[in-house]
Amino acid sequence: MKKYIILVLILPVCFILHAQQFVYRPLNPAFGGNTFNYNWMLSSAEAQNKFKEKSGYSYGKQSELEKFTATLNRQLLNSLSKDLFQQQLGDADLTEGTYVFGSLVITISPVANGLDITIIDQNTGEQTNILLPNT
């Protein structure tokens, strides 16, 4: 009799239950998830991050003495570069040619728009081009 009562109670539940297909949808946009989840996932990860990167960049955090020293260094280097150009070029305007300052090779050549100044660092191979337009 107990078996029949249990069967009568379980039988209606079996007709009510039905299954559906399981579909996996990733949350992370890097793995095919919705792209609108990116900001939420990034802010969640940053909130949980206990390690903070120490920034070596200290713009705006210089003391007055450090600012003064940096300004003085810039002025001295500017004066030095002016003196080197005066010694090499004299009082005349920039004339075409090739000039060597240590490991720097400076080539001045006329172009249709003005003067093209090419500066090459022989140690690293870096190159800079400056175009001075005609006045």
Virtual torsion, Cα 98, 101, 104, 105, nearest 10 deg? 10
Name the residue among 44, 14, 46, 10 with its Cα closest to residue 27: 44
Segments making up each domain of the chain, as ranges: 91-135
Q: Taking residues 8-20, what's their average pLDDT?
A: 68
- pLDDT, tens digit, 9 for 90 and up, residues 29-79: 888 888 888 898 889 888 998 887 776 665 667 778 888 888 887 887 787
- pLDDT, tens digit, 9 for 90 and up, residues 84-115: 667 655 655 667 888 887 788 888 888 888 77
| Residue 130 to residue 99: CA distance in whole angstroms | 15
**pLDDT for position 87:** 63
| Residue 109 to residue 64: CA distance in whole angstroms | 42
pTM for the predicted model, two decimal places: 0.39
**pLDDT for position 12:** 66
